[in-house]
């Protein structure tokens, strides 16, 4: 693997992340490499966070985000925490300014190891999300799954957290719904021209939400940071919660989401965890663990 780059397998409360160091290179992780890496149980992932050289003055890196189906994503909150932990370990610094196609992200590693990521202000305009139809009030839009007179899911809140989200508030446990069947239909619904992340949110109290997400380009996931932010914002917008909530993901991991009144920014705080390191080809997806010396993919 002459073209190999360092990578780390990490997770953010169960969200499976590969952090790849693409600094010093002009190419990108190919869709073919992403699909090959995701096909291997040891490197299966929700997102690849590829760290590139800075593109904007004053930033520390540009982050290219790749989904497990090879498509690109605009934002990934849990993956961003993994990037911050990796950069903090490398540099000894605790604050970073990162750029994605969705904009600039400020992030900080705290003394207790928790990492806060400022995902900026949510966007609620139907063109900004985007939707294919005009809705004046995006707190609830006309969209449902199931019979007209007894829909299984209906009237989601929609919002952009740099990527499009639809949040269905439900009264039962989020695991009692067949999200693996509804998720692909809703992700690819004509309402969402750029597809959408689909979440089920159950409000447990004004300070806590149980969440389950079908992630655009990745499918069912144990956690999704931007979806947690979308659920928190949507809960506050619809009067179900306050502006600071704890989100519990299917992994059992928890995130604190604070939708600040001072500047309208959404700040997510939670952990990141390193699992193992190695080298990978951003062209083919061939890889090896750090301790291995052969060029073959690990098995």
- Token couple for 139: 């707190």
**Catalytic residue list contains 229:** no
**Strands 115-118 vs 273-280: parallel, antiparallel or unpaired:** unpaired
Instruction: Give me the count of residues in the chain.
Output: 299
Distances (CA, A) of 135 to 140, 144, 286: 9, 15, 46
Is residue 297 a part of any domain in this protein?
Answer: no
Is residue 40 a part of any domain in this protein?
Answer: yes
**How many Å apart are CA 200 and CA 221, to the nearest integer?**
12
Q: Mean pLDDT per 10-residue run, the chain (299 residues)?
A: 92 96 97 98 97 97 97 93 97 97 95 96 98 97 92 96 97 96 96 98 98 95 95 98 97 97 97 97 96 41
Give me the pLDDT at residue 1, please. Answer: 75
Paired residues of 114 in beta bridges: none
In 29-121, alpha helices (H): 31-39, 77-91
Whether residue 218 is preceded by a cis peptide bond, meaning omega within 30 degrees of 0, is no
Contact 240, 169 (CB under 8 A): yes
Give me the pLDDT at residue 2, please. Answer: 77
Q: Are residues 229 and 276 in the same domain?
A: no
State the catalytic residue, choosing from 33, 76, 167, 222: 76
Q: Are residues 9 and 107 in the same domain?
A: yes
State the catalytic residue, choosing from 87, 129, 224, 268: 224
Is residue 241 a part of any domain in this protein?
Answer: yes
Q: Are residues 67 and 28 in the same domain?
A: yes
Classify residue 87 as exposed, middle or buried by CB count within 10 Å of its CB (0-12, 13-18, 19+): buried
Q: Are residues 167 and 114 in the same domain?
A: no
Is residue 206 a part of any domain in this protein?
Answer: yes
CATH of the domain at 182: 3.10.310.10
Q: For the chain, what is the domain count?
A: 2
Q: Are residues 250 and 277 in the same domain?
A: no
Among candidate residues 130, 150, 211, the one with its CA nearest the CA of residue 141: 130
Q: Are residues 21 and 44 in the same domain?
A: yes
In 92-219, alpha helices (H): 179-187
Contact 296, 288 (CB under 8 A): yes
252's torsion region: left (phi>0), alpha (psi -120 to 50) or beta?
A: left
- Domain with 72, as residue range(s), is 5-120+272-289
**How many Å apart are CA 262 and CA 68, to the nearest integer?**
36
Q: Are residues 84 and 28 in the same domain?
A: yes
Q: Are residues 179 and 91 in the same domain?
A: no
**Catalytic residue list contains 82:** no
Q: Are residues 60 and 114 in the same domain?
A: yes
Give me the pLDDT at residue 298, please. Answer: 37
Q: Are residues 254 and 167 in the same domain?
A: yes
Give me the pLDDT at residue 208, please. Answer: 98
């Amino acid at each position: 693997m002459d073209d190999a780059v360092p990578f780390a397998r990490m997770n953010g409360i169960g969200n499976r992340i590969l952090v790849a160091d693409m600094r010093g290179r002009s190419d990108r992780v190919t869709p073919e490499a992403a699909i090959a890496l995701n096909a291997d149980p040891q490197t299966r992932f929700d997102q690849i966070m590829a760290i590139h050289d800075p593109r904007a003055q004053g930033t520390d890196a540009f982050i290219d985000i790749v989904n497990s189906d090879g498509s690109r994503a605009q934002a990934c909150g849990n993956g961003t925490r993994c990037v911050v932990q990796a950069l903090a370990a490398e540099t000894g610094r605790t604050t970073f300014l990162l750029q994605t196609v969705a904009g600039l992200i400020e992030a900080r590693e705290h003394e207790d190891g928790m990492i806060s990521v400022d995902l900026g202000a949510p966007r609620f305009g139907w063109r900004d999300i985007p939707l294919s139809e005009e809705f004046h009030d995006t707190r609830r839009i006309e969209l449902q799954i199931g019979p007209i007179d007894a829909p299984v899911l209906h009237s989601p809140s929609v919002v952009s957290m740099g990527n499009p989200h639809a949040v269905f508030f439900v009264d039962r446990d989020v695991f009692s719904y067949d999200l693996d069947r509804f998720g692909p239909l809703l992700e690819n619904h004509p309402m969402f021209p750029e597809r959408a992340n689909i979440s089920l949110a159950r409000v447990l109290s004004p300070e806590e939400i149980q969440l389950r997400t079908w992630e655009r380009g990745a499918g069912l996931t144990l956690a999704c940071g931007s979806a947690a932010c979308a659920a928190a914002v949507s809960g506050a917008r619809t009067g179900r919660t306050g502006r600071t909530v704890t989100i519990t993901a299917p992994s059992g991991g928890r995130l604190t989401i604070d939708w600040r009144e001072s500047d309208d920014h959404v700040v997510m705080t939670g952990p990141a965890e390193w699992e193992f390191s190695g080298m990978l080809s951003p062209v083919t997806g061939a890889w090896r663990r750090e301790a291995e010396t052969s060029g073959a993919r690990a098995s």
